[in-house]
Amino acid sequence: MWSLRVCLFTVLLSVSVQGYNFSYKSWTISGADVVSAVEGTSAVLPCTFTHPPTDHDLTGSVLWYRRKSGGDHLVFNCTYLSPDRCSGEEVTSATGRVLLRFVGNLRQRDASIMVERLSREDDGARYRCRVELNVGKRHAVDPTRLTVRAAVVNVSVVTGTEGASATLPCVFPPPALNHTLHKVTWIRKDPYRHIVAFRPQLDGSWAAENGATRFELVGDPMQGNASTRIRQLSVEDTHDYLCLVEFRKPDYYRPASPPIHSPIVNPPFIQLSQREVLLRVTAVPQTFPVTILCMPLGLKTLALLVMCFVLYCDKVRKGGG
């Protein structure tokens, strides 16, 4: 049975975002007004929601529409056959290129998608999220406008060695004067997963959430640098990563007296992120003694006897010479 709590799961973007929060009749839908990304990379279109309390297990569909020629056209439909299984998680082109990919999770009230391999033709496209559940239906009031800018280099590449450290670069332009730096987050692109998030502390430092110790924010976000070091690298760390720097506007953007019986739009927030970063970790070749330590006890004993025999023969050969 699903939890009856009404929760809001915040989606972290791989792009620059100006967001909105829409509430009406116990429904809440949060998304982005503008998503700005770089040509050749990917962009997350966020859509999170809450719904009225219910005893039912949630089922239904996540739909995304793209506005063309003055109308909204369905471009993505992911139907939940069960809370953990979704049908139609990817939309591909005639050439097999992935265009849209589902990165949300209905259990976490997350209906986000990712637009892959952006081109300049995607610039200016407007997308709208809609959730149709067995407890009701709701869509985002404002569409998400996607802007795509040209890039000299699409993805930065960082190399590292197993067991060592590597720094993932993340440099971003300064925010507007009325924006507050709120969070720095790193996300793994595929499979999509939140890696680590840093929040500012009262003393001016930055700390990783959930006690993460392998990650260290080595840049100064207040100076436009959120570069992060990963320690104790493993080959499994080889992935594409997305850097997210989140800014929020102050509360005075909230309407003082919203009209009665009208939807409530909470203060917008802004999220900024850099281009994708590809981390490649090279395995360290194991030496013979290290290989022995990894063997079972029987094989380890045999290998040591062989080593002793080889050393003894070598000693005898040198003594005879």
Using CA atoms, how far apart are residues 93 and 60, in angstroms rounded to an integer?
Answer: 25
Mean pLDDT of 194-199: 92
17: three-class secondary structure by DSSP? strand
Using CA atoms, how far apart are residues 280 and 219, in angstroms rounded to an integer?
Answer: 21
State yes or no: cis peptide before 83, omega within 30 of 0.
no
* Bridge partner residues of 160 (DSSP): 281
Local confidence band at 237 (pLDDT 50, 70, 90 cut-offs):
very high
Whether 295 shows a pLDDT value over 90: the answer reads no
CATH superfamily of 1-152: Immunoglobulins (2.60.40.10)
Local confidence band at 88 (pLDDT 50, 70, 90 cut-offs):
confident
Which residues, 6+ apart, have CB-to-CB distance to 14 below 8 Å? Answer: 37, 41, 42, 43, 44, 114, 187, 189, 242, 243, 244, 273, 276
Domains 1-152 and 153-250 share a fold: yes
78: three-class secondary structure by DSSP? strand
**Containing H/E element for 205?**
none
Whether 35 shows a pLDDT value over 70: the answer reads yes
Mean pLDDT of 169-191: 81
Strand-pair category, 27-38 with 144-149: parallel
CATH class in words for 153-250 = mainly beta
Per domain, the residue ranges of the chain are 1-152, 153-250, 288-320
Give tens-digit pLDDT for 111-141.
Answer: 889 898 888 888 889 999 988 887 777 777 7
Residues 211, 45, 65: CA angle, nearest 5 degrees = 150
In this structure, the number of other CB atoms found within 10 A of the CB of residue 260 comes to 5
